[in-house]
Homo-oligomer: A and B are copies of this chain.
Amino acid sequence: MSNSLYIVIVGCGRLGSHLANQLSHVGHSVVVIDRDEATFNDLSPDFSGFRVEGDATQMTVLKEAKLKRADVFFATTHEDNVNLMVAQIARKIFDVPHVVARVFDPRRQQVFDRLGIETICPTSVAAEMFLLAVASGRAAKEDTKP
């Protein structure tokens, strides 16, 4: 597949494993890194990528994942500080062109932005969707209550 990307994902939790399965399924080369080997059980049986067990804040672990080759890097652990640290290493030291990090605390997004790291905050995204639901609730109220 000529459009295949080399994608490194740190964190094999619910989000990381979901992404790894999807991206491997459509033909990308995927490497997943997690400290806890048990998390690899969430990878689907037809996941064709690589698993690296180790602490992604260690350079040796990132080198083992061949981060230098990566087109895309995702930091999806449950710790904002870990995501910030590994995302910066990927961006600044390994020159990965596209780096995206999950960040739980919306107030930290500004810090990531200044450091040139693209972020996705599930809390902010979910909040926007809830607020859209309020808008539709108001529409429903206007329909039923004259």
Contacts and interface: CB of A to CB of B under 8 A. Distances in A.
Interface of A: 3, 5, 7, 14-15, 18-19, 22-23, 28, 71-72, 74, 76, 97-98, 100, 102, 104-106, 118, 120, 122-123, 125-127, 129-131, 133-134, 136-138, 140-142, 144
28 contacts: A3-B138, A5-B137, A5-B138, A5-B141, A15-B123, A15-B127, A18-B127, A19-B127, A19-B130, A19-B131, A23-B134, A28-B134, A71-B137, A72-B134, A74-B130, A97-B137, A97-B140, A98-B133, A98-B136, A98-B140, A100-B130, A120-B133, A122-B122, A122-B123, A122-B125, A122-B126, A125-B126, A125-B129
Majority secondary structure of chain A interface residues (helix, strand, loop or mixed): helix
Given A5-B141, A14-B104, A72-B137, 13 more contacts: A5-B134, A15-B123, A18-B123, A19-B131, A22-B127, A71-B137, A71-B138, A71-B141, A72-B134, A98-B136, A102-B126, A122-B123, A122-B126
